[in-house]
C-alpha cells in the first residue's frame, strides 16, 4: 500500500520535490545504521593507526567526533570506505565499500517503500545510483587544487544527468534522508521548485559559474534555470525527501561544527534500466514476486564483491570501457 496522500503526490508532481516527516523510525532503522557505521569507523581507525597514519585510536569519541579527528589527521574524508558503491575508474582488489545489514534494512524499510510505492508503483527496484555522504564541517576539510573544500557543497545538477542516456525513460526516484537532524548550517539539500518540468538540462564538465570549483564536477549553468527560486530543505532525522529525476538540486555548505550525514538512494520500477548496469541493483519490493525481494545483506555484499572483481578488468588507467556519464566539454550552453 502506498502511504502518501493525494496532496503529497500532487506536490511532488507540481513542485518537483516532497518532504515527508517521520517516515523512518529513528530507533529501529537509523540508530542501527549509526551503530553499524561505528564499527566500520573503528576498523578504519585501527587500520590507520597500525599504518601510523594517525596518532591515536580516539576511542573516547563518539562517531562524529572520531570521524572528524580522523579527517583532520589524515587530510582525507575516506569517502569510499563508507560508501555502498564503487568508483567508476581504477577499482582495486581491495577497494573498500560497506553494504551491511542495517544499511540494507534502511533501504528496504517498509514505511519508506510504502512512500516509494505511492510515487512509482508496487514493483520496486533499488537502483545502484546510491551514496552515503558524511560531510565534516567545511572549516576542517582539506582543500582541492582550486582551494575549495573537498566534499563541500553539492553543485547544481539533475540526477538524470548522472546516469547514461539509455535510462532517460526510466522513472528514477531520488530518496534522500539524514542520519541526524540537518539544519540550515549543516548544508541541507537545496532544490529549485518547478525545475523538473523542463527536461534534462546541459551539465558542464568544467563550468563553475558562481559556485565552488570542484574537481570532476558537472554543473548546470545558472542561466538555464531559475536559481533564485531555490529553497533549502532542512530536515529532522526520520524525514525523507523525494525528488523526480529532473529536479535541479544541490546542497548548501556545512558551515556548522557537526558532521552532515545522509543517504541518497534511487528506486525505479522493476524492469527499467538503471542507467548504471555495471553495478548491482535488487528487488526491494514486489507484490507479484515477493520471493525475489532482497533482505539478506550477505547476498547483497556478494553482488558488490562480484562487481568489484568485474571492475578490475575495465576502466583501468584512463581507459573507458564502460560509460558512467554522458557529458563532454564544449557545449555552447557552457560558454
Ligand X SMILES: O=C(O)CCC(=O)C(=O)O
- At its nearest, how many Å lie between Fe ion and the CB of residue 34? 23
The C-alpha atoms of residue 148 and residue 142 are separated, in whole angstroms, by 8
228 contacts: CB under 8 Å, gap ≥ 6: none
155 makes contact with ligand X (CB under 6 A): no
Site string for ligand X, 242-261 (x = CB under 6 A): -------x-x----------
Nearer to Fe ion, 116 or 283 (CB): 116
One of 174, 186, 195, 219 touching ligand X (CB under 6 A): 174
Q: Which is nearer to ligand X, 150 or 189 (CB)?
A: 189
Determine if 186 is a binding residue for ligand X (CB under 6 A).
no
Three-class SS of residue 224?
helix
* 133/203 with CB nearer ligand X: 133
Q: Which long-range contacts (CB under 8 A, 24 or more apart) does 162-167 make?
A: 162/129, 162/275, 162/325, 163/129, 163/274, 163/275, 163/276, 163/326, 164/275, 164/276, 164/323, 164/324, 164/325, 164/326, 165/326, 166/273, 166/275, 167/272, 167/273, 167/274, 167/275, 167/276
CA distance 108 to 41: 23
- Angle at which helix 6-15 crosses helix 110-120, to 10 degrees, equals 60
* Minimum CB–partner distance for residue 17 and ligand X (Å): 11
**Taking CB within 5 to 8 Å according to partner kind, which of ligand X, Fe ion, none is near residue 123?**
none
**From the CB of 159, what's the least distance to ligand X, in Å?**
5
Given 8, 118, 154, 214, the residue binding ligand X (CB under 6 A): 154
Q: Which of 70, 86, 133, 179 binds ligand X (CB under 6 A)?
A: 133
Q: Which residue ranges make up the site for ligand X (CB under 6 A)?
A: 133, 154, 159, 174, 176, 189, 249, 251, 262, 264
Amino acid at each position: 500500500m502506498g502511504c502518501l496522500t493525494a496532496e503529497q503526490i500532487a506536490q511532488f508532481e507540481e513542485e518537483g520535490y516532497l518532504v515527508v516527516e517521520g517516515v523512518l523510525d529513528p530507533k529501529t532503522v537509523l540508530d542501527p545504521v549509526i551503530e553499524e557505521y561505528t564499527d566500520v569507523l573503528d576498523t578504519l581507525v585501527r587500520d590507520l593507526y597500525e599504518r601510523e597514519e594517525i596518532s591515536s585510536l580516539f576511542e573516547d569519541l563518539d562517531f562524529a567526533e572520531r570521524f572528524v579527528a580522523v579527517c583532520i589527521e589524515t587530510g582525507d574524508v575516506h569517502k569510499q570506505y563508507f560508501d555502498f558503491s564503487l568508483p567508476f575508474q581504477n577499482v582495486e582488489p581491495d577497494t573498500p565499500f560497506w553494504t551491511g545489514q542495517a544499511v540494507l534494512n534502511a533501504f528496504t524499510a517498509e514505511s519508506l517503500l510504502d512512500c516509494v510505492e505511492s510515487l512509482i508503483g508496487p514493483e520496486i527496484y533499488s537502483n545502484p545510483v546510491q551514496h552515503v555522504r558524511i560531510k565534516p564541517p567545511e572549516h576542517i576539510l582539506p582543500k582541492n587544487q582550486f582551494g575549495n573544500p573537498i566534499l563541500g557543497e553539492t553543485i547544481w545538477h539533475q540526477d538524470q544527468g548522472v546516469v547514461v542516456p539509455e535510462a532517460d525513460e526510466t522513472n528514477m526516484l531520488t530518496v534522500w534522508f539524514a542520519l541526524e537532524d540537518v539544519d540550515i548550517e549543516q548544508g541541507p539539500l537545496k532544490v529549485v521548485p518547478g525545475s523538473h518540468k523542463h527536461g534534462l538540462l546541459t551539465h558542464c564538465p568544467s563550468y563553475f559559474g558562481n559556485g565552488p570549483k570542484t574537481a570532476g564536477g558537472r554543473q548546470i549553468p545558472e542561466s538555464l534555470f531559475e536559481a533564485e527560486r531555490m529553497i533549502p530543505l532542512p530536515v529532522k532525522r526520520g524525514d525523507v525527501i523525494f525528488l523526480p529525476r529532473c529536479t535541479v538540486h544541490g546542497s548548501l555548505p556545512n558551515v556548522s561544527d557537526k558532521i552532515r550525514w545522509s543517504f541518497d538512494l534511487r528506486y525505479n520500477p522493476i524492469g527499467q534500466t538503471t542507467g548504471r548496469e555495471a553495478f548491482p541493483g535488487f528487488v526491494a519490493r514486489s507484490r507479484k514476486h515477493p520471493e525475489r525481494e532482497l533482505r539478506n545483506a550477505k547476498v547483497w555484499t556478494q553482488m558488490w564483491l562480484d562487481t568489484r572483481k568485474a571492475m578490475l578488468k575495465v576502466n583501468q588507467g584512463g581507459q573507458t570501457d564502460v560509460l558512467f556519464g554522458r557529458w563532454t566539454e564544449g557545449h555552447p550552453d557552457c560558454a
